[in-house]
Amino acid sequence: MSNPSTALTDTRLLLGVSGGIAAYKSAELVRQARAAGAQVRVVMTAAAEHFVGAATFQALSGQPVRSSLWDPAAEAAMGHIELARWASQVLVAPASADLLARYAQGMGNDLLTTVLLATAAPVALAPAMNQQMWAHPATSANVARLRERGVAIWGPGVGDQACGESGAGRMLEASELVEALIAAKVGDQLRGLRIVVSAGPTFEDLDPVRFIGNRSSGRMGFAIAEQAALMGAEVVLVAGPTSLPTPARVERVNVRSAEQMLRAVLDQIDRADVYVGAAAVADYRPVAPRPSKIKKAAEVMELKLVRNPDILATLADRARRPFLVGFAAETDDVLHYARGKLEAKRLDLIAANRVGLPGCGFDSADNELTLLWPDGELALPRASKAELARRLLLHVSERIRSRQG
């Protein structure tokens, strides 16, 4: 179980639930949004109440659920206009074909559509419907009209549907919607920054079929690149060998060896404001990789290795250096070794983590980091790599801003 996150602290989420079987997923969405720090209030349409009871949302949100414009007690407590003003973000999930149509027409014939018209907060819709309904030209026209007005449309996903059909129309999962909420919130925190991230292992070839590698999955570096792009940065990801998909809006340069990685980073660095060295760069490479496969002969075989260039140290030596972030993956004495590397490589920041623990570090979804800089440190408790990446990047942007200011 991850620690409660703070990614949605300050978010006042007004969750609209319209009629659809996917409404059951919205109960989980309320739970996860609150776990990420959001305050949540739920407004249901009359149709939604056929699928999930208001009591479920009330219990999960910790707030009274509203469904009618005509409930004098509820209106006295928080009127629909106040509700619309209270929200910092509105999300309708599931958004049925009927809800899309009514909103696109500007109708205000129930509490939810009234709030949608009255709010100045950003509005996102997570459509959920049968795939034929989603593909219908009327629905497409409504969606296009809403997009033109600046409404975000999240999803729908493709897959099996409750009606037994398969195609586009599935509501995104609760966790995907929470990630979208976080991305919407952080969308301009790194605007104007160009960030180069290195990630993954490097492979140092012995011959055409063998190499020396390491167990880095690349996930931490990919999470940093992905989050940096979501936070508005221009991102170049220099990736060692890994099968991870390229995150959206990230420019990727694939490399294999440490020397190739250094060259690719140097190609990018003059325009970069930040370099994050999340790659597990091999320290040594074979002195002379063989052009053809090494055959088995001797009983004992010796490999001769030579030191690879240190990418971070190379960057630190340059006259114009970007803000330099290193990683220190250690099995023992983590903070001691990390501070040593911070100083030896003259970094602005180093993120230290213990590797070799089950469920944390290499090849796992969660991680735990301590940020160290010349005159301070900050422990980031165990969380998803996405959450840690955001917190690290926020710290970097604050440091850069305070330097500039």
Closest CA to 366 of 377, 379, 353: 353
Residue 277, sorted as left (phi over 0), alpha (psi -120 to 50) or beta, turns out to be: beta
Residue 113 engages ligand CTP in binding (rule: CB under 6 A)? no
Q: Please state, in angstroms and rounded to a whole number, the distance separating the CA atoms of residues 80 and 231.
A: 32
Alpha helices in 210-351 (DSSP H): 219-230, 258-269, 311-316, 334-344
283 contributes a contact to ligand CTP by CB under 6 A: yes
Active site residue 360: no
Instruction: Decide if residue 180 touches ligand CTP (CB under 6 A).
Output: no
Minimal distance in Å, beta carbon 255 to ligand CTP? 13
Which CB sits closer to ligand CTP, 20 or 277? 277
Residue 279 binds to ligand CTP (criterion: CB under 6 A): yes
The span of 49-57, 112-120, 175-183, 276-284 binding ligand CTP (CB under 6 A) equals 276-284
- Choose one: 62-70, 278-286, 293-301, 382-390; the region binding ligand CTP (CB under 6 A): 278-286
The least CB distance from residue 2 to ligand CTP, in Å, is 24
Residues 6 or more apart whose Cβ sits within 8 Å of residue 34: 40, 60, 61, 62
Alpha-carbon distance 133 to 22, whole Å? 15
Q: Does 274 participate in binding ligand CTP (rule CB under 6 A)? A: no
Output the smallest distance, CB 330 to ligand CTP, in A.
7
253 neighbors 264 (Cβ within 8 angstroms): yes
Pick the closest to residue 323 from 332, 315, 331 (CA basis): 315
**341 makes contact with ligand CTP (CB under 6 A):** yes
DSSP character string of 178-228: HHHHHHHHHTTTTTT-EEEEEESB--EEEETTEEE-----SHHHHHHHHHH
Residue among 163, 303, 344, 379 flagged as catalytic:
163
Structure tokens at 350: 């180093």
Helix (H, G, I), strand (E, B) or coil at 278: coil
Q: Which of the ranges 7-15, 92-100, 238-246, 325-333 carries the binding residues for ligand CTP, by CB under 6 A? A: 325-333
Query: Any contact of residue 124 with ligand CTP (CB under 6 A)?
Result: no
Among 57, 275, 323, 327, binds ligand CTP (CB under 6 A): 327
Determine the angle formed by the axes of helices 23-35 and 54-61, rounding to 10 degrees. Answer: 10
Closest to ligand CTP by CB, 106 or 309: 309
Which is closer to ligand CTP, CB of 27 or CB of 244? 244
Q: Smallest Cα–Cα separation from 18: which of 91, 123, 104? A: 91
In angstroms, give the least distance from the CB of 331 to ligand CTP: 10
Nearer to ligand CTP, 115 or 281 (CB): 281
Of 15 and 262, nearer to ligand CTP (C-beta) is: 262
Instruction: Give the sign of the dihedral formed by CA 156, CA 19, CA 37, CA 32.
Output: negative
Contact residues for ligand CTP, defined by CB under 6 A: 258, 277, 279, 281, 283, 308, 310-312, 326-329, 341
**Active-site residue numbers?**
163
